Protein backbone atom coordinates (compact mmCIF):
# COMPACT_ATOMS: atom_id res chain seq x y z
CA UNK A 1 0.00 0.00 0.00
CA UNK A 2 1.10 3.52 -0.69
CA UNK A 3 2.18 5.73 2.20
CA UNK A 4 3.11 9.39 2.48
CA UNK A 5 5.44 10.70 5.19
CA UNK A 6 6.00 14.29 6.26
CA UNK A 7 8.78 14.18 8.84
CA UNK A 8 8.57 17.83 9.94
CA UNK A 9 5.55 18.42 12.23
CA UNK A 10 6.39 22.13 12.38
CA UNK A 11 8.64 24.57 10.54
CA UNK A 12 9.23 28.28 11.02
CA UNK A 13 10.75 30.86 8.71
CA UNK A 14 11.40 34.57 8.75
CA UNK A 15 9.19 36.62 6.49
CA UNK A 16 10.75 37.09 3.01
CA UNK A 17 13.05 34.09 3.43
CA UNK A 18 12.88 30.68 1.76
CA UNK A 19 11.67 27.47 3.40
CA UNK A 20 11.54 23.87 2.20
CA UNK A 21 9.00 21.33 3.41
CA UNK A 22 9.82 17.65 3.04
CA UNK A 23 7.68 14.77 1.82
CA UNK A 24 8.58 11.18 1.02
CA UNK A 25 6.30 8.48 -0.27
CA UNK A 26 6.34 4.78 -0.86
CA UNK A 27 4.85 3.19 -3.96
CA UNK A 28 5.50 0.43 -6.45
CA UNK A 29 3.64 2.32 -9.17
CA UNK A 30 5.48 4.12 -11.96
CA UNK A 31 2.72 6.54 -12.93
CA UNK A 32 1.11 8.71 -10.28
CA UNK A 33 0.40 12.27 -9.17
CA UNK A 34 1.74 14.22 -6.22
CA UNK A 35 0.18 17.27 -4.63
CA UNK A 36 0.83 19.91 -2.03
CA UNK A 37 -2.28 21.30 -0.36
CA UNK A 38 -2.42 24.27 2.00
CA UNK A 39 -4.87 24.46 4.91
CA UNK A 40 -4.99 27.90 6.58
CA UNK A 41 -6.79 28.47 9.91
CA UNK A 42 -10.03 28.82 7.95
CA UNK A 43 -9.76 25.01 7.38
CA UNK A 44 -10.30 25.39 3.63
CA UNK A 45 -8.10 22.90 1.74
CA UNK A 46 -6.39 24.68 -1.18
CA UNK A 47 -4.29 23.09 -3.91
CA UNK A 48 -0.84 24.70 -4.06
CA UNK A 49 0.96 22.67 -6.70
CA UNK A 50 0.74 19.40 -8.59
CA UNK A 51 3.35 17.11 -10.17
CA UNK A 52 2.81 14.29 -12.65
CA UNK A 53 5.33 11.51 -12.07
CA UNK A 54 6.03 11.02 -15.77
CA UNK A 55 7.21 14.63 -16.07
CA UNK A 56 10.85 15.12 -15.16
CA UNK A 57 10.53 18.89 -14.99
CA UNK A 58 9.75 20.21 -11.54
CA UNK A 59 6.43 22.05 -11.24
CA UNK A 60 6.40 25.73 -10.29
CA UNK A 61 3.59 28.10 -9.35
CA UNK A 62 4.81 31.64 -8.70
CA UNK A 63 6.70 31.51 -5.36
CA UNK A 64 6.06 27.79 -4.93
CA UNK A 65 8.19 25.11 -6.54
CA UNK A 66 8.88 21.45 -5.97
CA UNK A 67 11.95 19.27 -6.01
CA UNK A 68 10.69 15.95 -7.35
CA UNK A 69 13.18 13.11 -7.01
CA UNK A 70 11.42 10.06 -8.42
CA UNK A 71 14.14 7.51 -7.68
CA UNK A 72 14.41 8.71 -4.09
CA UNK A 73 10.59 9.00 -3.82
CA UNK A 74 10.94 12.50 -2.50
CA UNK A 75 8.70 15.49 -3.20
CA UNK A 76 9.69 18.64 -1.32
CA UNK A 77 7.98 22.04 -1.51
CA UNK A 78 10.03 25.24 -1.62
CA UNK A 79 8.37 28.53 -0.74
CA UNK A 80 10.36 31.58 -1.76
CA UNK A 81 9.92 35.08 -0.35
CA UNK A 82 7.70 33.78 2.45
CA UNK A 83 4.70 35.93 3.29
CA UNK A 84 2.52 36.10 6.40
CA UNK A 85 -0.35 34.66 4.37
CA UNK A 86 1.66 31.48 3.79
CA UNK A 87 1.19 30.47 7.42
CA UNK A 88 -0.84 27.25 7.34
CA UNK A 89 -0.74 23.49 7.54
CA UNK A 90 0.77 21.99 4.41
CA UNK A 91 -0.19 18.50 3.32
CA UNK A 92 1.54 16.29 0.80
CA UNK A 93 -0.74 13.85 -1.05
CA UNK A 94 -0.33 11.00 -3.51
CA UNK A 95 -2.73 9.62 -6.11
CA UNK A 96 -2.37 6.61 -8.33
CA UNK A 97 -3.03 7.32 -11.94
CA UNK A 98 -4.05 7.71 -14.59
CA UNK A 99 -7.28 5.84 -14.79
CA UNK A 100 -10.81 6.54 -13.82
CA UNK A 101 -10.71 3.88 -11.10
CA UNK A 102 -7.89 5.51 -9.19
CA UNK A 103 -9.65 7.98 -6.98
CA UNK A 104 -8.10 7.86 -3.57
CA UNK A 105 -5.69 10.52 -2.35
CA UNK A 106 -3.20 9.26 0.24
CA UNK A 107 -2.25 12.04 2.65
CA UNK A 108 0.71 12.84 4.84
CA UNK A 109 0.17 14.02 8.42
CA UNK A 110 1.00 17.63 7.58
CA UNK A 111 3.59 20.28 8.43
CA UNK A 112 2.62 23.42 10.30
CA UNK A 113 4.39 26.42 8.78
CA UNK A 114 4.91 29.46 10.98
CA UNK A 115 5.97 32.77 9.43
CA UNK A 116 7.86 35.13 11.74
CA UNK A 117 7.36 38.83 10.96
By the 8 A CB rule, do 113 and 89 touch?
A: yes
- Distance CA(70)–CA(83), nearest Å, equals 29
The contact pattern for another protein, residues 88-117, with x = CB under 8 A and - = no contact, is ---x-x-x-xx-xx-xxxxxxxx-------
CA distance 101 to 104: 9
Binding mask 72-91 for another protein (x = CB under 8 A): -------------------x
Residues that bind another protein (CB under 8 A): 4, 9, 33, 35, 42-47, 50, 91, 93, 95, 97-98, 100-101, 103-110
Amino acid sequence: AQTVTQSQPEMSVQEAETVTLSCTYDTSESDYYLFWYKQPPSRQMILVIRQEAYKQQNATENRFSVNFQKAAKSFSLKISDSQLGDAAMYFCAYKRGPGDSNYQLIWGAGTKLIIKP
